[in-house]
Amino acid sequence: YDDGQQTRCFTYIEDTVRGSILAATVGRAEGQVFNIGSSRETPILELARLVKGLVGSPSEIVHVPYVEAYGADFEETRRRVPDVRKAERELGLRAEIPLEEGLRRTIDWFRDER
């Protein structure tokens, strides 16, 4: 919806699980709170184009007005980026699987499950 320029950060499940295991097993992490994820921002329009290309879809990307999608009372955060510096510093954690590779793996999994 909207112009597609709102950004999000996406993390492949293997990186998330690895981070959760580190947070649960590294002694100095006990009682701490960590943002586990990637700090690579991706505009939603770029994500839509990427998925469309990876699945070979001929469909058109349609921009739906914000109010039409969620109503007048919904407030959107245009930019969401986790601060992952603490997880990097304390756990040595960095997201390793790039968005494109994570999407390929996910799409392949769904295709194999058909």
pLDDT at 24: 96
Letter for the amino acid at 87?
A
Number of domains within the chain: 1
Instruction: Summarize pLDDT for 12-37 with one digit per residue, the tens.
Output: 999 999 999 999 999 999 999 999 99
pTM: 0.86
Kindly report the CATH number assigned to the domain that includes residue 109: 3.90.25.10
User: In terms of residue numbers, what domain contains 20?
Assistant: 7-113
The reply to whether 1 falls in a domain is: no
The reply to whether 2 falls in a domain is: no
pLDDT band of residue 70 (cuts 50, 70, 90) is confident
Residues 6+ apart with CB under 8 A from 41: 7, 8, 9, 79, 81
